[in-house]
Structure 1
Amino acid sequence: MLQRIGDALKGQKWLAYLVLGALALVFAAWGAYGIVNLNFGGSDYAAEANGAKISLEEAHNRWLRQQTQWQQRLGGMEIPPDLRKRFQDQMLEGMIGEALIDERTQSLGYRVSTEALREAVQQEPAFQIGGQFSPEAAKGALAQAGISLADYERDLRTQARRAQLEGGIRASEFLTPAERARLAELEGQEREVRYLVLPAERFKSAAGVDDAAGQAYYKAHQAEYMTPESAHLEYAQLSLAALEAQVTASDADLRAAYEKAKGRLEVPEKRHARHVLITGKDDAAALAQAQKVLAEAKAGKDFGELAKQYSQDPGSAHNGGDLGWAERSAFVAPFADALFGMKVGEIKGPVKTQFGYHIIRLDEIQAGKSKSFEEARSDLEAQLKRDRATDRFGEIQERLQTKASEPGADLKALAQEFDLQAGEMPTFVKGAGAPPLGLAPPLQELIFADPPLAVGRLGGPVLLGDDRLAIVKVLEHRKARPKPLAEVRESIVAALTQSRATALALAAAKAARQKLEGGAS
């Protein structure tokens, strides 16, 4: 859910190069927990891209989040210095790419309304309990990902603008020769960047924290050091996957299913073709060019070379217009009608579509056929087991609905009767949940309702998605309360020390910048 929004353009490196101009990255100084820029201007920022500045605060906060995520992946270990340097470089490079794209979307006037943003946030499934948006669920999910609600909303707005830009570019379906040349030029360029590293670690010894400062920080930030509301539960759950593992399907069952499904087991005809796409604002000129290419192709000129020379389809021109194997549904109707009416070796055109004029050559045909029983067996078995398990799942749900509401219903007895996975969960947290049930919004709504599910009472069954259900019994309710200072003292000292060390590193970086501006090297 909360995979960082920047990943939306992963694998789309060409997009940033296509739409944006050159990048200017000025001197930057990195701390182990902070980033300081040494630039030529009066303002402090980590990097500049086409006039769009990445602030020190943005870079600092991004690094803190990513550092936490990487440490979790490393099992709580400190990140080795060489890896830290690599992660920091990758992070800043990613932020630069994001800034370039954001600058372009804003210059083109792409906007996302507050209403649309609010609707997108409220429709996020992980932020809902019982199908309704829950601020508690949103805070819990974002806390697990290390993101504030404000950051999430800002990133969501940015993602929407980028999607508008990407969609506009993709809708054009092709690059002009000039754009392709520019893309090739940009991809081959290298930039030399100089930066100064001032690790905040160097300043920690000068950033001492006494008891008074720690107590003051604790009082001022007590809301950050709360033990959330929670419950101690007994639970029993049933999964569709567990039922599927118990289901068997005989050979006779599978053959009967095969006979019923024959109509759905047709493998459609596929064709292997090449094409040349001619497009342009002047329709008459494009048609004339397409007719010229058609004449050359029919005269025996190598079709692949014609595609490389004339085609304006960036996806196939470099490969001689090769479209690979595809079925009819892969193409727009005019193209599909022409292609699937041709004979092997035939050249046809110009065929007009919304993309331009096409000259098509059919190379091979792979006839459609029905899957044999053996070819379809594994798919049929999986589907049959799924169907039977789904039926059994529904039956158990209905019976549990009745039995769990009976006076004196016992969770452990029901778990044994219906072969449910039973267990105890000492701390099921409001807004966060706990393994193995996870966040479980429907359970959140049941357990922490107003009034909450009574201690000792059986609740459920509750559906956790389409393939899991659970029944629960509350053993104890716990209200939210502040954590004792002694319990959080270490983290407070670490936070204050880091904050002060970062401030000292920033001051040192500013002094270094002044020296550089004065001519020092």
Structure 2
Amino acid sequence: MFESIRNHKKYLMGFLMILIIPSFVLFGVQGFSDGDGRGKTVATVNGEDITQLDWDQAHQVESQRLRESMPTLDARFLDSDEARYATLERLVRERVLAAAAQKLNLYTSDQRLARDLQQNEAIASLRRPDGTLDTEAYRQLVGRQGMTPEMFEARVRADISVRQVSQGIVGSGFASPAIAQASLNAFFEQREVRVVQFAAADFAARVNPSDAEIETFYNDSPQLFQAPEQVDIEYLVLDTEALQETVSLNEADVRAYYDQNASRLSGNEERRASHILLTVAPGASDADKAAVRERAAALLAQVRQAPDTFAAVATANSQDPGSAANGGDLDFFARGAMVKPFEDTVFALNKGDISDLVETEFGFHIIRVTDIKAPEVKSFESMRAQIESDLKKQEAQKLFAENAEAFSNLVYEQGDSLAPTAERLKLSVQTAQGVTRQGQPGSGVLSNDRLLSEIFSAESVEKKRNVAAVEVRSGQLASARVLQYLPARTRPLAEVRDAVRTQLVAQRSAQLAQEEGAQKLAAWQAAPAAANLPAPLTVSRDKAQGLPGPVLNAALSADSTQLPVWKGVNLGSQGYAVIQVEKVMPREARDAQARQQEVQQYGQWWSAAEGQAYYETLKERFKVRIEVPTPPALSAAAR
């Protein structure tokens, strides 16, 4: 059936157009979008729904980002309820801040957008040797994210506006040194404690379960002994990095590249400049702006007549608080550090030149170039390795772009095997056994959520056809085909008997440790003199003395109004601990530098807390409602 569809797809498309176009005329776009499978509503912000599809797509993007930045990250973490819920919370936060930015009329100027894009390393790598942007490569870069350049730039502009919402609060927060020190002293208070731990492992020798008990535990807990569904697969990868190994270079091309780019490859030219700034208030009238220009022109005439007085004139007249006190000096900077009109002027002047008036979003500038630091041009031999690497990378990117469409089409059209695609593009078919939905951590391709989702789809498992090409990461496409499928199953007792016994012994050992610990606690509380306790430890939040987190928290949170005080801590599978808090002491003294650093850190915490409080206010203002229950682990952590 599917072969018939492929062979007659042109006629089928024409037939579908005949059916679809009248439907749009009669029912409109809304009639189709209402049933578009976006799924149930999982959250609402400002009256707008976030659907299951929105959530799934956002988590897919977030998972991919984390995999690329941390290749060894366990795939099971990304698939957990906690990780997915964290993605939903981030998605809600983005929508809340976007609504606030719109409400506050926060707008990102073209200059600010350009500066942000210039700082994007991925975009910067697309510049040609002459410094111009390779627009086609830029279009392909954003196209791999499913966007046009206009859509991408609109998203970046929106992101910048959104950041302004929280930065207005976080950037203005502060805490006085007195308050900071008082809070920190209380937080890092020391306590002298005695701790007795009842480790579960110490009770394991007392546990000797019978065969009947092992079988009962196995039957009562089958979920602990599940073998997940697995597949044996073959897969194919089109990779830019691998393509680099196939590229051979011509010596003449390498030399020509050096000749054309020697200055750029040797490093960025830096310039040192001083300026006099007269600011123009936002929304100033034409008359006010003209008056500022007139004052700036008078200062320009003054410094041109006596260039040596530039620093003194800047100190007396410049309205740039960051440089006026230094005679207007801005130190050395490279291209991309200043707004474009300012930068273009600086890099067009010679050393010692004074510019005409330069107008920017900040006001009117008078600029003097005081020094030029040009990097020493490196020799061809010293740059050969880097040039060859750059050229191979560029050629590999071209090859990837040329082959990507063929790869995608071939794995679809020749769906019964990956061999035709491998033969056509000179790739190697690889195999993997026992692949689960969680993938193989650290394996790159086989830890990609999107590819795994395609592999375990019903059609892939049942039909055993090539899955659609998936962009695993930038510059890497992959497809796979299921060779054998093994459904999830409960492993037989004979296969997991040792594991069952180990888990049963661990569970009962922990119970014995907890019972013993609770009994000792009661006895020692009744007769403290009979307690045989170890030497005391001095602990604090920054000096745990090797104590487990729950034990340390219990010791520091115990009511110290009547000392000594006893507490018992259930450590779950680790056992039990008994604590006696004997003494409360002030924190250790800090030198002046350490105290200053602590106050700065506290100020950052305080600003972050104010930012979070502001966000909670915005959530109420925009009527945020999350329909998905909080995962139990996160609920417990919040308590």
TM-score (norm 2): 0.43
Which of structures 1 and 2 has the larger relative contact order (alpha carbons within 8 angstroms, sep 6+)?
2
TM-score (norm 1): 0.50
